[in-house]
Structure 1
Amino acid sequence: MNLNFEDLSLWQLFLIFLKLGCTSFGGPIAHLGYFREEFVGRRQWLSDAHYADMVALCQFLPGPASSQVGLMIGLEAKGKLGACVAWAGFTLPSVVFLMAAALGLSLFNGAALIGVIHALKIVATIVVAHALRGMLPKLCPDLPRIGIMLLSVMA
């Protein structure tokens, strides 16, 4: 694991989270899968256990867990300013997209817009399923945890 963040600039941290913000579709659960791929798999900044602890803690806090996990990663990498930079990088694409979508709502007819929304829902479902498939073996490695997961799904 590479826990030496001295060579990492705030700009680099911003760009990493900006890329995630531009490419992470599917909502907070899918975002957590993308974060795991980036920070546990690709960059090896975090262990699976440490990442799972972050996710578990953030599930208890109000708000989207993915944003909070991103803040925690930024905090560990570059302190309080790193947390702000990570949040800004991850959130900026959504803000721009929502503003453009609001403008689009006023310019296009309902039928075309409904088709786009349905297509985005399908893509989001696929992305969430992919994220869950990637995290499941690490977060539910034994029968007791699989049982807890199944009970949670049924609840």
Structure 2
Amino acid sequence: GGEELSQIQKGESYVGLIAEGRFQAEKRSAQERVSLQHQGIQISSTGQMGDEPSRLKTREETYPAEQPGLHVFVLTSDGRLIGSYAFDFQNEEKPLAKSEVSPPYFPGVDKIEIVLDQESYAQLEEKRKEALRSGVLLTGDEDLVPGRIVYKDQEYKGELRLKG
């Protein structure tokens, strides 16, 4: 997989689908819009040919590309968009990604808010850094910090710690 992507020329339309770590399908054209459909998801690209932007359509939403360039849409296995990145090869030979989606929105999922003071947050952050350095998270009672959890307009006080 990836043969079409490796041969893409400036201004061409290109779409590719990568799942489970490998290319599932890809299309490229210098003359027309290209599109792919897979499990209720449609991706399309016009390259530099049209006024209509490249886009990703899921069962619930349409996400137009807001910036020029090669777009990477990242979805969960059930089709929810969790990130989108654009690489602008028009203006830069080796572009850095520009994120278009922030933060991901998951309709129908209840929001939980964790509230910590700065000292408690700093303690958890230091414990996290220590775990990343050593490759293992070891916690005990001394790692508990005071905090609050807000869920459905209810506030719960307690002690929090990192879990691996």
**TM-score if structure 1 supplies the norm length?**
0.23
Higher helix share: 1
Select the structure with the greater relative contact order (CA < 8 A; seq sep ≥ 6). 1
> Higher Cα Rg: structure 1 or 2?
2
Higher strand share: 2
TM-score normalised by the chain length of structure 2: 0.22
